[in-house]
Amino acid sequence: MDVWALGGLTMLRLERRAQPSAVMSLASPMVALLLTTVLAAVLFAALGKDPGQGLAMFFVEPVNGLRPLTEVLLKATPLILCALGLSVCYRSNVWNIGAEGQFLLGAIAAGGAALWLAQAGLTGPKGLYAPLVLLAGVVGGMAWAAVTAVLRDRFNANEILVSLMLVYVAQQLLNYLVFGPWKDPQGFNFPQTPPFDASTLLPAMAPGMRLHWGFVLTLVAVVLFWVFLFRLWWGFQMQVGGLAPAAARYAGFSSRSALWTAFLLSGGMAGLAGAMEAAGPLQRLTPYVSTGYGFTAIIVAFVGRLHPVGIVCSGVLLSMVLIGGELAQSRLGLPNALTGVFQGLLLFLLLACDTFIHYRVRWMRSGSPSAASKPSGAGA
């Protein structure tokens, strides 16, 4: 594929590699992050801020001490959980874009369970009923994902559009509940539910910290997803169905089973993340129970190469970006939209760098025999 001729003398050609480059597969995320950092520094300078100080808000301040580090891990927890479920979907060629809605339904279901337990007078030590609340969140997320799965399975509806549109339905349902029947009568007219009873909350890992034991549960989920994807026959079937649907059909693998498994796993993990957020740091439901975790998790999944271990690393990185954006807004007066710009740059540059996994660059004279052997545009 001829890309550009420089002054009529030099031609840039992308040639497909015989085998994908293992080196570029590993280096691509690092190169994308480096280029994102450089462009972010340029953006800080264009906004009249010190680039070094701006970058420190994103990469130094979020981990400058034990307590800030625990806040990074706290924010990374829902990102990792959502991205784990999405990785199964994308490896199976099932395009779930609605993890945000499944996150919200998980939070709603967990909040409803917590409020019902308190109304029924079932109280006890802190964390006694937390497993039930988390289970309710998983069921809520799976039920919301099942709506998309049914429409895709029975009516061949586009899962991208359906799952995305259901995000807005979930948000409006949450708004109705916290502005209406679940609104705290003693909450000074704020749209929020009453605080959850201590027995339904996730205990903190250490006194004075907000990081809860859900983070440990998240690490357990990472191990289980790694086993599922790379050590179990079921996970192998799903990945074959995503990479080579025709071969999967020939081997007798069920595409319908893969569809439902991917959606239910993805919805369950997003619902679990929503339940942890509601029963963890928030301890109640508000209209802002999610700050876009489900959408950010899409970037986390791809930056992490759809691999459970890579997702942990990318989840921590994107968590630092989210916290860094808040610090840059409060300390440097930068717009909050800068966080979204940072995320978009990272994903765009990652996709650009991934091109060189399957292609390599060749420079040659436009008049040379090798350049003239192929017509312009050939070799793509």
Q: How does pLDDT run across 331-375, given as a tens digit for each residue?
A: 999 888 888 999 999 999 999 999 999 998 887 765 555 554 454
pLDDT, one tens digit per residue, over 306-317 is 999 999 999 999
Q: What was the pLDDT predicted at 69?
A: 96
Q: Which of 312, 277, 281, 291 is nearest to 141 (CA)?
A: 277
Q: Which residues contact 17 (CB under 8 A, 6 or more apart)?
A: 357, 358, 359, 360
- Record the pTM: 0.91
Q: 279 and 203 in contact (C-beta within 8 Å)?
A: no
CA distances from 334 to 57, 75, 337 (A): 11, 21, 8
Domain 50-333 in this protein, CATH class: mainly alpha
Residues 6+ apart with CB under 8 A from 5: 11, 12, 366
pLDDT at 378: 43
Residue 143's pLDDT is what?
98
The Cα angle at residue 79 between residues 65 and 147, in degrees rounded to 5: 160
Domain boundaries, the chain: 50-333
3-state SS of the chain is CEEEEECCCEEEEEEECCCCCHHHHHHHHHHHHHHHHHHHHHHHHHCCCCHHHHHHHHHCHHHCCHHHHHHHHHHHHHHHHHHHHHHHHHHCCCCCCCHHHHHHHHHHHHHHHHHHHHHCCCCCCCCCCHHHHHHHHHHHHHHHHHHHHHHHHHHCCCHHHHHHHHHHHHHHHHHHHHHCCCCCCCCCCCCCCCCCCHHHCCCECCCCCCCECHHHHHHHHHHHHHHHHHHCHHHHHHHHHHHCHHHHHHCCCCHHHHHHHHHHHHHHHHHHHHHHHHHHHHCCCCCCCCCCHHHHHHHHHHHCCCCHHHHHHHHHHHHHHHHHHHHHHHHHCCCCCHHHHHHHHHHHHHHHHHHHHHEEEEEEECCCHHHHCCCCCCCC
Tokens of 173: 């349902």
Rounded CA gap, 169 and 175, in Å?
10
Q: How many CB atoms lie within 10 A of CB 9?
A: 9
The tens-digit pLDDT sequence of the chain (380 residues) is 555 554 555 577 888 998 988 888 889 999 999 999 999 999 999 999 999 999 999 999 999 999 999 999 999 999 999 999 999 999 999 999 999 999 999 999 999 999 999 999 888 999 999 999 999 999 999 999 999 999 999 999 999 999 999 999 999 999 999 999 999 999 999 999 999 999 999 999 998 899 999 999 999 999 999 999 999 998 988 888 777 777 777 777 888 888 999 999 999 999 999 999 999 999 999 999 998 999 999 999 999 999 999 999 999 999 999 999 999 999 999 888 888 999 999 999 999 999 999 998 887 765 555 554 454 444 43
Per-residue pLDDT, 380: 36
